[in-house]
Amino acid sequence: MNIFATYKTHIDAVVGALMAEGALPAGLDLTRVAAEPPREAGHGDISTNAAMILAKPVGKPPRAVAELLVERLKKLPDVTDVSIAGPGFINLKINDDLWRGALRDVLVEGIRYGNADVGKGEPINVEYVSANPTGPMHVGHARGAVVGDALANLLAKAGFKVTKEYYINDAGGQVDNVARALRMRYLQVLGKITAEDVKGALERKEIQYGGEYLMPVAEALAARDGDKWAAVTDDALWIPPLRDFIVAFMMKIVKEDLAAMGIHHDVFSSEKALTVAGKVDDALAFLEGKGLTYTGVLEPPKGKTPDDYEPRPQLLFKATQFGDEIDRPLKKSNGSWTYFAADIAYHKDKVDRGFNTLINIWGADHGGYVKRVAAALKALTDGKGSLDVLLCQMVRVLNNGEPVKMSKRSGTFITMRDLIEEVGKDVVRFIMLTRKNDAPLDFDFAKVTEKSRENPVFYVQYAHARGRSVFRHAAEMFKGADLMDKGLAAADLSRLTDSDEIGVLRAIASWPRTVESAALAHEPHRLAFYMYDLASAFHALWNKGNDAAELRFLQPEDQAVSLARLALVRAVGLVIASGLAVFGVEPVEEMR
């Protein structure tokens, strides 16, 4: 049960009753009225902003509105006290049995505790990674991959029907460019040119990709085709097959790297396949039929010139009708479609597959692209479609505060696989979620592996492992006792009376609310903060027992209180495991 959602319903009912009686004006909007944990634990158990939100439409000061509500709120189930704080916040004190009931819910539901139905089965498409198949995935891709995967898991836990999708950018100039670089390495493998020749081509910018990672691709091409392409000079003859070869080769590596990170997409969509199927033409014809395209000349933009600006008559999309700064080109000077045209087709394809709610995870360097894609989706859906683009800021890889040298594998950057091999996928996944996606993140190898509370991965996992160790000792101490979840749910939880024990129970009970709010805000990092706070409260309780023997979890002479405390310990472990499952991280049984 989401206790906070239940009291939000109760508070709405109180306001509704006052409206019905004429004590408050009818038709008040209650959507922004909240019931949540107070900022200061000493203020109570549940805080509501109802008086603050309603003051303006009611036409009275917040405290005056609060005084109208207080007497009714005192009559709500399990409320033991109500007080007004500051300018008009209302704090409710709840009977401790309600928090003990939440503990029983955890033991009954297991890691399903916190599952919600706010999504009501709505289809939602989460597209993430979508790296160009031109080389290994780097640390920036790793962050987007983890954020997207955790968000998809979180939305599924909140009741949405989620599809995880990867868009393969296998058409366009960048794939042609990597095909040209592959040919140089292919000629090197055949002995037709030297490594110095390749280096010179890079310096002269005849090719754009030169990492050593291309050598295995070139060797595989030579093994398959021999010297078939060595003497072919017509680009139109050798670029397509080499482009197809490297896309297939790199996508195999991408999928292997994603699997090593514990990531598996439901759908891989190909830009090339969309184009070949005529879906770009269809999408633009659709917009033309709605009168949303025209041929014109764009005004020279102010400030930085967009890369797609050409001072000539060209086919344009009326993006300004949907919130963009300028109308956007759909065709290049050579007559081919722009990248944006292909993106319109891709998003139309998503809509045609039944998705009106779309989430895209992009790198921060794509920030300037957001408005045009959002404008296109509005045009495609008559404003009914919803697009949220999460931009992932850069990741700095350090060791004891010093920048880590570049990867030998890539030649120019640190790869996702480098991170996994150095610290393991669970550490990578958790650390990538300890900051909001749009904040820069430092990934310090020394700090993410140290055993201290400063390392959130260790601190959270240590709480889970400590709990498991308690159960190993309990099994020896209370032979024959039912220590399974159902047995613990039947324990006398009224024996949990210490203020810090009740504090942990309150934290456990706020897990369903955390899941719902994080899912609706598309912010999986909130779960990392929650798990850290829960672990901190648990460690504090452990330390309190070290100082006062009567507060230790296991009391050899009092099995009843021991079982109640074991129920609490188990619930903490289950909630942490529930959060780690969303993150795609395995909870540990013991720390080494």
| Nearest C-alpha neighbor of 568 from the set 480, 482, 506 | 506
pTM comes to 0.94
DSSP character at residue 231: S
Compute the mean pLDDT over every residue in the chain, rounded to the nearest whole number: 94
Nearest to 372 by CA among 508, 380, 24: 380
Band the pLDDT of 321: cuts 50, 70, 90.
very high
pLDDT reported for residue 241: 97
pLDDT at 161 over 70: yes
Q: Please give the pLDDT value at position 525.
A: 98
Instruction: Give me the mean pLDDT over the 481-490 stretch.
Output: 96
Q: For 165-202, b where at least 16 C-beta lie within 10 A, e where not — what string? A: bbbbbbbbebbebbbbbbbbbbbbbeeebeeeebeebe
Give mean pLDDT, residues 257-273.
97
Q: Is the pLDDT of residue 404 over 80?
A: yes
What is the predicted pLDDT for the residue at 301? Answer: 66
pLDDT per residue over 223-246, tens digit each?
999 999 999 999 999 999 999 999
User: Which band of pLDDT confidence, cut at 50, 70 and 90, is reported for residue 303?
Assistant: low
Structure confidence at residue 299 as a pLDDT band (50, 70, 90)? confident
Degrees to nearest 5, angle at CA 307 with 302 and 310? 75
Quick check: 573 pLDDT over 70?
Answer: yes
Q: SS3 for 556?
A: coil
pLDDT of residue 105: 97
For residues 184 and 557, is the Cβ–Cβ distance under 8 A?
A: no
CA distances to 45, 275, 395, 498, 543 from 540, rounded to whole Å, are: 20, 59, 32, 13, 5
pLDDT higher than 70, residue 552 = yes
Tell me what percent of the residues of the chain surpass a pLDDT of 70.
97
DSSP SS3 for 317: strand
Alpha carbons within 13 A on the beta-carbon side of 89: 17
Are the C-beta atoms of 76 and 14 separated by less than 8 Å? Answer: yes
pLDDT tens, 82-106? 999 989 999 999 999 999 999 999 9
Contact indicator for 92, 45 with CB cutoff of 8 Å: yes
For residue 412, name the pLDDT band (cuts at 50, 70, 90). Answer: low
Using 50, 70 and 90 to split pLDDT, how confident is the model at 300?
A: confident
SS3 179: helix
> In the chain, what are the domains?
3-94 (3.30.1360.70), 100-115+452-583 (1.10.730.10), 123-168+264-392 (3.40.50.620), 173-260 (no CATH)
- pLDDT of 411 above 80: no
End-to-end CA distance of the chain: 36
The closest of 468, 451, 489, 462 to 553, measured between CA atoms, is 468
Assess contact for 331 and 337: CB atoms under 8 A.
yes
By the 8 A CB rule, do 257 and 416 touch?
yes
Please give the pLDDT value at position 419: 94
Q: Which residue has the higher pLDDT, 297 or 492?
A: 492
pLDDT at 406: 63
Residue 24 has pLDDT above 80, yes or no: yes
Burial of 401 (0-12, 13-18, 19+ CB in 10 A): exposed
pLDDT at 592 exceeding the cut of 90: no
- pLDDT at 413 exceeding the cut of 90: no
Q: What is the per-residue pLDDT across 204-224, written as a single tens digit (0 to 9) for each?
A: 999 988 888 999 999 999 999
What angle (nearest 5°) sits at the alpha carbon of residue 205, between those of residues 203 and 206? 115
